Amino acid sequence: MTDTILKNPVTLDVVTLHSPRPTPARDVLVFTTELPAGAAGSPPHRHARLTETFEVLAGRVNFRVGKTDRILAAGETVTVRPGTVHGFRNASGVRAVLRCTVTPGSGFERFLRALQSAAEAGRTTTAGLPRDPRRLARLLLDADFHFPGLPMGVQRALFRVLAAPPVNATH
């Protein structure tokens, strides 16, 4: 199996999904993300089940993990445990590259591929998120992605309602 490269035409990020793909026996996703100079990266969020490890391969990346802000340079790593609010951005004037390891990873791979697909189809905001709230809710569920400030269980319930297929009413 070969690597898959996802070039987002909206955010200009380049994600390379490395093989092997996650499987039920080994649900780990490894990918690299190239962030252009000044890229927004990922807003503050948390995951109920995912553990993420980020290693900076090139450049410098601003990270927020919990209440701590850090700038990581090439060769430095940070691991984010489930429930920890985190986010990152490339605030520098040069490209940055991160290697990301996500466990469990299969839902997160679906998330990355779906963001790419929506961007290529012109169905995203300028921030690269789907304009359709149903699609966005489905992606947030796949990525186990939760915003800070609202309990994760409440968000999951709201996302499930939004992502549910519409009920066809007959009269």
Q: Kindly list the structural domains of the chain, giving each domain's residue range(s) and its CATH number in brackets, ordered by start.
A: 4-163 (2.60.120.10)
* Per-residue confidence (pLDDT) for residue 139, from 0 to 100: 93
Residue 144 burial (10 A CB sphere; 0-12, 13-18, 19+): buried
CA atoms of 34 and 14, how far apart (whole Å): 5
Q: Are 30 and 129 in contact (CB under 8 A)?
A: no
Give the predicted TM-score (pTM) of the model: 0.89
Range list of H helices, 63-132: 106-120
CA atoms of 60 and 78, how far apart (whole Å): 13
CA atoms of 45 and 152, how far apart (whole Å): 10
Q: Average model confidence (pLDDT) for the chain? A: 92
pLDDT at 170 over 90: no
